[in-house]
Chain A
Amino acid sequence: MTVAEDIDVAADSPAKATRGLTRKGALYGVLSALMVVFCVVPFILVIVISFGRKVEGAAWVWGFSFENYQRFFVGTLWPDEVTFLYLQQLGYSFYFAIIASVLAVLTALPFTLLLTRLKRSTQAIWLVFILSSLSMSEVFIVMGWDILLSNNSGLPKLFQVTGTTQWLKDVGWFQSLRDIGLANPRNVKFKPSEFATILTMSYLVWPYAVILLYPALSRLDPSLSEAARTMGASRWTVTRTVTLPSIRLPLMGTTLLLFVFLLGSYVTISVFATPDKQTTAVAIYSNIRGSNLNAPFGSAQAVILLISASICLYFGHLLNRKAEAR
Chain B
Amino acid sequence: MRIGGHIFIALAALVLALPIVVVCGAALNGGRSMFFPPRDPTLARFGEFFVSEPVWTNALANSIIVAFGAATLAVLIAWPVAYLLWSSGSKLSKVLAGLGSLPFAVPPIVIGVGLGFFWAFTGGLGHVWSGVVSHAILLMALPLVTISIGLQSIDRSHLDAAATMGATEQIAFRTVVLPQTIPYTISGFFFVLVLSFNEFIVIFFVSASSYATVTLQIFNSLRNGYTPTMAVAAITFLVVSILVFAAVARWGDLPRLMGADQSKN
Contacts and interface: CB of A to CB of B under 8 A. Distances in A.
Interface of A: 2-5, 7-8, 11-12, 20, 24, 27-28, 31-32, 34-36, 38-43, 45-46, 49, 107, 110-111, 114-117, 120, 123-125, 127-133, 135-141, 143-148, 152-154, 203, 206-207, 211, 214-215, 218-219, 260-261, 263-264, 266-267, 271, 281, 284-285, 288-289, 295, 298-299, 302, 305-306, 309-310, 313
A122 to B, nearest CB: 10
Given A40-B99, A132-B238, A305 B109 contact: yes
Contacts of A131: 241, 245
B264 A153 contact: no
B114 A144 contact: no
Nearest to B263: A219
Contact of A137 (B160, B215, B231, B255): B215
B166 interface: yes
A263 B105 contact: no
B131 interface: no
> Top 10 A-B pairs ranked by shortest CB distance?
A144-B19, A264-B107, A215-B259, A42-B114, A137-B198, A4-B160, A264-B109, A132-B241, A35-B99, A218-B260
Contact of B84 (A27, A34, A117, A284): A27
A39 B137 contact: yes
Contacts of A31: 77, 80-81, 84, 96
A144 B255 contact: no
Interface in B1-58: 1, 5, 8-9, 12-13, 15-16, 18-20, 22-23, 26, 34-36
Given A4-B164, A137-B215, A143-B230, A218 B9 contact: no
Contacts, number: 247
Contacts of B34: 147, 153
* Prevailing SS type, chain B contact patch: helix
A215 B106 CA distance: 22
B70 interface: no
A313 to B, nearest CB: 6
A95 to B, nearest CB: 16
A5 B168 CA distance: 11
Given A27-B80, A133-B16, A5 B110 contact: no
Given A139-B215, A153-B35, A114 B110 contact: no
A263 B107 contact: yes
Contacts of B35: 152-153
Contact of B254 (A128, A261, A295): A128
B86 interface: no
Contacts of A260: 105-107
Given A111-B9, A133-B16, 18 more contacts: A11-B166, A20-B169, A28-B92, A31-B84, A38-B118, A46-B113, A123-B255, A130-B16, A138-B200, A139-B215, A140-B23, A140-B218, A143-B230, A144-B23, A152-B35, A267-B200, A299-B113, A309-B110
